[in-house]
Amino acid sequence: MKVLEIKNLNVAYKNKEKQVFAVNNVSLSINEGDSVGIVGESGSGKSTLAMAILRLLPESSTEITGTIDYKGKDLLKMSTGEFNEIRWKELAVVFQKSMNGLSPIHKIGSQIEDIYRVHVPKISKQKVKEKILSLFKLVNLSERVYNLYPHELSGGMLQRVSIALSLIHQPPILILDEATTALDVVTQGQILSEIQKLEEKIKMTRIMITHDMSVVATACKKVVVMYAGKVMEVGKVQDVLLKPTHPYTQGLMKSFPSLKGEKTELRGIPGFMPNLADQNKGCIFAPRCSFAKEKCHKEVPKEIEITHGHFSACHIYGGDFN
Ligand code: ATP
Ligand code: MG
Q: How far is the centre of ligand 1, averaged over its atoms, from the C-alpha of 15 (Å)?
A: 13
Q: How far is the centre of ligand 1, averaged over its atoms, from the C-alpha of 243 (Å)?
A: 28
Model pLDDT for residues 28-63, shown as the tens digit of each residue = 999 999 999 999 989 999 999 999 999 999 999 999
Here the ipTM equals: 0.99
211 CA closest ligand 1 atom index: 2
Pocket (CB within 6 angstroms of ligand 1): 13, 15, 20, 22, 40, 42-48, 276
Q: What angle do CA 162, 167, 170 make, to 5 degrees?
A: 165
pLDDT band at 268 (very low <50, low <70, confident <90, very high): low
Report the amino acid identity of residue 10. Answer: N
Q: How far is the centre of ligand 2, averaged over its atoms, from the C-alpha of 177 (Å)?
A: 7
Q: How far is the centre of ligand 2, averaged over its atoms, from the C-alpha of 309 (Å)?
A: 26
Q: What radius of gyration, in Å, describes the C-alpha atoms of the chain? A: 20
Model pLDDT for residues 214-232, shown as the tens digit of each residue = 999 999 999 999 999 999 9
**Closest-lying ligand to the alpha carbon of 212?**
1
229 CA closest ligand 1 atom index: 14
- Spell out the domains of the chain, with CATH numbers in brackets: 2-90+171-312 (3.40.50.300)
pLDDT band at 301 (very low <50, low <70, confident <90, very high): very high
40 CA closest ligand 1 atom index: 6
DSSP state of 150: G
Q: How far is the centre of ligand 1, averaged over its atoms, from the C-alpha of 110 (Å)?
A: 34
Judged against a pLDDT cut of 80, whether residue 322 lies above it is answered with no
* Nearest protein Cα to ligand 1, atom 20: 43
Give me the pLDDT at residue 267, please. 52
Q: The pTM is what?
A: 0.93
Model pLDDT for residues 91-117, shown as the tens digit of each residue = 999 998 777 678 889 999 999 999 899
Judging by beta carbons within 10 Å of its beta carbon (0-12, 13-18, 19+), is residue 104 exposed, middle or buried?
exposed
**Closest-lying ligand to the alpha carbon of 40?**
1
Q: What ranges in the chain are assigned the alpha helix state H?
A: 46-53, 80-86, 108-119, 125-138, 155-166, 185-202, 213-219, 237-242, 247-254, 294-298
Which H, E and C letters describe 158-217, residue by residue?
A: HHHHHHHHHCCCCCCEEEEECCCCCCCHHHHHHHHHHHHHHHHHHCCEEEEECCCHHHHH
pLDDT band at 256 (very low <50, low <70, confident <90, very high): low
45 CA closest ligand 1 atom index: 11
51 CA closest ligand 1 atom index: 11
Choosing from 20, 56, 93, 280 the residue with most ligand 1 atoms within 8 A of its CB, the one to mutate for a pocket test is 20
Give me the pLDDT at residue 264, please. 45
Q: How far is the centre of ligand 2, averaged over its atoms, from the C-alpha of 302 (Å)?
A: 25
